[in-house]
Structure 1
Amino acid sequence: MNSGNTNNVSVLGIGNVGCQILSNLETKSDFGKFTYISQSLEDIPQSSKGHFLKLDMKIGGSISIPMIRSLCKSQIDEISNSIISSDYVIITCNPGEKISAALVPLIAKLCHDNNTKCIPILSMPYDHETHRHFNAGVTLTKIKEFSSNIILIDNDEILESLPRIPISDAFNLIYSKIALSLSSLFSNNHERLENLLEITEDDKYSLLSFGESSHDENTNVAVKNALQMLSNTTNPSSISRVLLFLNGNSKLSTTDVLSSINMIKGQVNESQISHNYSTSDSDTMAVLISSGLSQTKFDDYDPLSNIFAGNNLDTDIEYHVNENLDIPTLSD
């Protein structure tokens, strides 16, 4: 495994939301390999220097997730060598989109079977996207079988934190803020990526939250906003580990960092807290990765998982079965 750089990291954006996040992330980081995977060319930015995989569904209309998986498997096989030859694979997606629900478990299993570390970053459906909740819940359950580094993002909380702007602008701003927070955590640095893996390594879930403050406000405002976003999605007392990253302005001091850590300790009890920071000319951003979550607002998305207490009877990845098996029939 590489020990000094992140050139051997593959970052995959799957579906519309995944590609939008990746498009913003590509401009903010220097990872070696970016791959956009979608059935629509509109999801792939023309300015990107990454690889593109336009999925050929071969048929139109509404098709099932197992059917999508079957139709696209040969194309995923074509890039499988690039995926499993990486030290790390980072996936951005909305697990409620059918294309993500079909392919992310497949790629996570591919990584698992080849001992490649996989970090799925799941931008969860909004509350109003009820038609995507079940797909997201089932996909989350399946990915959990193959990755212990799942990071969830609550888009509703990000939307609530934005000023009143047109909804199309709001979505673009959300993708940009998610990418900015991720680039802060990764920061093209192998040690920070290893630290993130250590924090998120769990049979439960991790949650990304962030807050911002202006030049005229102190760092505590950004941390308070990040903690508010966290507490609206889960119970902070259930958290076992926290990674805090402060991207502060030029006035950031050691006192600010210690004050931020103490604020977090007051919310997450005896959790293990790691921290890192950098300075820039931009407004301050506090990014939290909180792990060990046994419950989140997304638990009800997969009712079967709740009924079976996480011990689902069928965890296999389903494919469409071709009904035309050419079985001879007996003639009269």
Structure 2
Amino acid sequence: MTVSRVINDRPGVDPATRAGVQQAIVELGYTPNLAARSLVTSAELKIGVVYSNPSAAFMSDFLTGVFEEASVRGARLVLLKGEDGHPPSQSALEDLVRSGISGLICAPPLSESPAVLKVLHMARVPVAAVGAHGVEGAICVRIDDRLAAYEMTRELIALGHRRLGFVVGNPGQVASLQRLDGFQAAVREHAGVTTTIAQGDFSFASGLAAGDALLQADPRPTAIFASNDDMAAAIVSVAHRRHLDVPAELTVVGFDDTTAAVTLWPPLTTVHQPVRRLAAEALGLLVAEIGAPPRKAGERIDQVLDHAIVQRQSTAPPGTIDPDRQSHAARPSMNTPPGD
């Protein structure tokens, strides 16, 4: 696995180890046998991809990463989509397994779906789960969601915000709970910070509902941290409808750094989650797993990639708002029904 990562210029290898492998390649005059690689991949390697995610931007990045890595490795992909965040039917999953797949890669939230994982476990199919935490028997590739949310929350507090709103993601995903935990951990470190929590599910529609709930609070938050960019974009939309200037009157931040973060005004400050790299790394590890001896019972592969805070134009220190203007801003537009 380590040699494969070095040859394919993948992350996750200690620099000294990488240098040793590269030196051995030079000394041995090794070049990959493309014919053999083609025999192993194109003829025998068929990877199933199961997904059902409400964020089109996230899925675009995920599928791009999978397609690019599959192209490099000569793997054939078979896609199976669930609807509205729900897994495909058991019969559809069983048909996918019977089609002769060598392994399967799951996108969140299905990467932690008991219904999906049970079928695959029974069929003894190797699984790579993107964005998942500690799924037994699966290769998990993720970022440190708790740390990322903790760092973003500290950024908001450092700007001077003391009334914070937070929108939780899909309650069925461990990543959602980890992000909430990171947010709350940062808040506990600073006296005088108050919080208002709203539940979402990572969809734009849930962000609209959460935004209405948070901006009706009295007093309302001066900064809102949404657990993904789609919900953050929805909150910006609600703020604009309420005649609130972002970021002068309301700071909004997101999570993922998808195209949704840069296709609205103002562009979102957000946590960069390398979705394409996560998907590509998961597929690479899955291919290595398919060709390797079975892992020992209880042995896990949990690959954690780096994240980053991306600063854009949706954040600012809390401003002093004229009370009359605040009262006006707190009312929805007379021409737009609440929740739209």
Task: Give TM-score, length-normalised by structure 2.
Answer: 0.28
The structure whose Rg is larger is: 2
Task: Give TM-score, length-normalised by structure 1.
Answer: 0.28
